[in-house]
């Protein structure tokens, strides 16, 4: 889909998807720098990550590049938090 073809809904969705994806970056950086994930809830991140996998699957099923790309990135960031929680938690 070319940028000129974006609807208002697509634009709002792209902004929302971008913001919710990059929202995890400060958490990843904080854990990495402090080498501590003691205060991170493993059940919360595990259920969230499962939800992201569902969203990614949905994106693949409907062939939505926006949903696929943002959920792949979110999955990577949320998985990084889980891995650091298991290592430094």
CATH number at residue 40: 1.20.1280.290
**Average pLDDT for residues 18-45, to the nearest whole number?**
92
At residue 43, does pLDDT exceed 60?
A: yes
Dmax (CA) for the chain in angstroms is 46
Sign of the Cα torsion 19, 21, 27, 32 reads negative
Please tell me the pTM assigned to this model: 0.83
14 occurs within a structural domain: yes
Domain that holds residue 78: 7-88
44 occurs within a structural domain: yes
52 occurs within a structural domain: yes
29 occurs within a structural domain: yes
Angle between helices 65-88 and 42-62 (to 10 degrees): 160
2 occurs within a structural domain: no
DSSP state of 64: -
- The predicted structure's pLDDT at residue 8: 85
1 occurs within a structural domain: no
Give the count of domains, the chain: 1
């Amino acid at each position: 889909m070319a940028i000129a073809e974006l609807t208002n809904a697509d634009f709002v969705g792209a902004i929302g998807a971008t913001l919710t994806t990059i929202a995890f970056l400060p958490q990843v950086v904080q854990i990495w720098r402090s080498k501590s994930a003691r205060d991170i809830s493993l059940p919360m991140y595990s259920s969230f990550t499962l939800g992201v996998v569902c969203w990614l699957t949905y994106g693949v099923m409907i062939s939505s590049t926006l949903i696929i790309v943002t959920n792949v990135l979110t999955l990577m960031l949320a998985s990084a938090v889980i891995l650091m929680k298991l290592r430094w938690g």
